[in-house]
Structure 1
Amino acid sequence: MNSELQRESQKKWIRFLVPALLLAAAGFAYMAYQPDSLPDSIARGNGRLEAQEIDVATKLPGRVEEVLVEEGEMVKAGQVLARINVDDLQAELRQAQATLRQVQESAKYAEAVVDQYESELSFAEKELTRSTQLSQKGHVSAEKLDLDKTSKLRAEAALKAARIKVVEAQAAIEAAQAAIERLHANIAESELKAPIDARVLYRLAEPGEVLGSGGKVLALLDLTDVYMTIFLPTYQAGVLSVGADARVVVDALPDLRIPARVSYVAPRAQFTPKQVETQTEREKLMFRVKVKIDPDLLKAHQEKVKTGVTGVAFVKLEDAADWPDDLQVRLQ
């Protein structure tokens, strides 16, 4: 009986001790890279590294033919990442090309008809001129003169109609050519390419899936736009300037001091209580601040950039303030 009580007591002690040790370890890890004290001219906040996400989507509906990259893979701008099946587009293209050939033949025929009616009109004009001259001398009857006038009018009307047919045929040619150009463009866009150098974050679609227009195939991370979002109280955010110098320290690399800049300060506070009555409550107003890491530095170390890593960002509230020795830039 006593041994059972003793074992139960030990279990309770272990259940208490393990969380306590974990909390102590976490606290030690956090304090390992925190400066002993910060001047009033420097503020800090906790956050995690994030990067701008870019969706790679299909412009037109269709079936995913293949996805050529894996999650975590680095890709270059212009690299083909995936392809959408274009069998239907190829069939439409062949039909459009056949239509173009047909309307081109129609245009040739219409132009030949114009040539024919131009000849007939020229002949009718000559006949009318001759009949008019002979009529003045009394050698041609009025009926013959009227007949030649009618022939000329008919030739003019026929020529006008033939010329309209030529214009219509040319318009049909232009429409067919535009359809072919559009189909070529759509076929080219079936190859989904990386807009920038980036890392593949997610494969959102797999071969065989049918997507609608705008369907997302991949999500990329722009590793030249990496930032940490922190929250500062009103008295600090109110004097913080966009462009202010900053430092980022991540948990995974606590010895490094990464240079950064403040790229955004929210115009409105968050976490605002419904009733703000006391000064203590007003201090709960927090402003979102985005601290962006130097893009040139990121480009030089793209393979090492990891998003989702937690850490701390330090920002200067006064431009003239000096960084403490423990927050001087350190990249090794």
Structure 2
Amino acid sequence: MNKSKVVMAGVVLALAGALGYGIWQARDRGLPEGLIQANGRLEGDSVLVASKYPGRLETVKVREGDMVSSGQLLATLHSDEVTARLRAAQASLAAARAQQQRATAASAQAGKDAARFADLLARGSVDRMHAEQMQLAAVSARSQAVQAAEQIHQAEAAVAEATAVLRELQLTAPSGGMVSNRLREPGEMLAAGGGVVELVDLNRLYLKVYVPENQIGKIRLGLPAQIRTDAFPDHPFAATVSHIAARAEFTPKEVQTPDERVKLVYAVKLSLSSNPQLRLTPGLPADAVIRWKEGVAWQAPRW
């Protein structure tokens, strides 16, 4: 009987030890109440640098991974049609300016002749018909000068339009960032709207994570978060919950989750507060901890 009690007591102790170890191990892998861990990949909003007009791509001055500044020249295109249009407009402008010079000179002379004949008419040296003819000639000359000026304005507008199109064929960076994709190579023909490179602003990165359905109720916009990467495991980057998906989806295959039973998750965007020295780049895998209860000390993720 005593032996049976000893055996029973041993079994109970073993079960209690196993249960305690299991609870301790589970707690070790998880985070305390108030923190939620998740993982994903860093992303950034891309800007497509595209040509407004069709043309042949002459040069692409950047490669993937290059850092660029706002206004930096990225690529150049050439259009024979636009170049010919500019030359024609410049020739028309030169002709219009020459015509205006002649018309202005003729108008000035006609004005002098009309004034002289008016004086002669007043003194009775010429008849009224000749004086009136000179006045009409002066009016006609002034009208031709005005028309010449209008032709100059039209030619200048044509030159400005063609010049603006050629300027648009010089593709520059709308903002600073990193070249994430180089889409075309020199020699290719581009249609209007054809993309050449994609840029991503490294100062506005975010981590897209997936939170299980049974925890999404704890997440709200503006909550603080910390992001860690393998490249900088001891340096957490501050972030904020900036977007919560309205609908659940099935767990993406590329996302690791410690609970395989969780099937429905919500996409959550964690926007980085800053990216010191631009060390983080899109595509890096990262872990995140979201704090939904104030006062809870930050801890590193435990997978």
TM-score strictly above 0.5: yes
Matches within 5 A, 1:207-218: 207-218=186-197
Q: Does 1:292 align with 2:274?
A: no
1:299 shift after superposition: 4.4
1:204–1:218 contact (8 Å) kept in structure 2: yes
1:88 shift after superposition: 4.4
Q: Which residue of 2 aligns with 1:118?
A: 111
Deviations 1:260-289 (A, max 9, x none): 1222334x33449xxxxxxxxxx9886543
**What are the ranges of 5 or more consecutive residues in structure 2 without an aligned counterpart?**
1-24, 251-261
Deviations 1:47-100 (A, max 9, x none): 221112111111221001121222223333333222112554444333322222
Name the aligned partner's letter for residue 296 of structure 2.
Answer: D
**How many Å separate the matches in 2 of 1:210 and 1:254?**
46
SS state at 1:269 partner:
coil
Q: Does 1:197 align with 2:191?
A: no
Name the aligned partner's letter for residue 86 of structure 2.
Answer: L
CA 1:305–1:121 in 2, change beyond 3 Å: closer, same or farther? same
Q: Which residue of 2 aligns with 1:269?
A: 247
**How many Å separate the matches in 1 of 2:276 and 2:159?**
41
2:42–2:284 contact (8 Å) kept in structure 1: yes
**How many Å separate the matches in 2 of 1:264 and 1:153?**
82
Aligned partner of 2:41 among 45, 48, 63: 48
SS state at 1:157 partner:
helix
Deviations 1:194-231 (A, max 9, x none): 23332222221111111112211111222111101234
**What are the ranges of 5 or more consecutive residues in structure 1 without an aligned counterpart?**
1-30, 135-143, 273-282, 328-332
Query: Cα RMSD over matched residues?
Result: 3.2
Select the structure that is richer in helix.
1
Aligned partner of 2:201 among 222, 233, 236: 222
Deviations 1:238-276 (A, max 9, x none): 66443331111335655542211222334x33449xxxx
1:324 shift after superposition: 2.9
Matches within 5 A, 1:170-189: 170-189=149-168
TM-score, normalized by length of structure 2?
0.73
Q: Does 1:159 align with 2:138?
A: yes
CA 1:285–1:325 in 2, change beyond 3 Å: closer, same or farther? closer
**How many Å separate the matches in 1 of 2:199 and 2:53?**
20
Pairs aligned (count)? 264
Identity %: 31
Matches within 5 A, 1:1-332: 36-39=30-33, 41-131=34-124, 148=128, 150-232=129-211, 240-250=219-229, 254-266=233-245, 268-271=246-249, 287-295=266-274, 298-300=275-277, 302=278, 304-318=279-293, 320-326=294-300
**How many Å separate the matches in 2 of 1:285 and 1:129?**
104
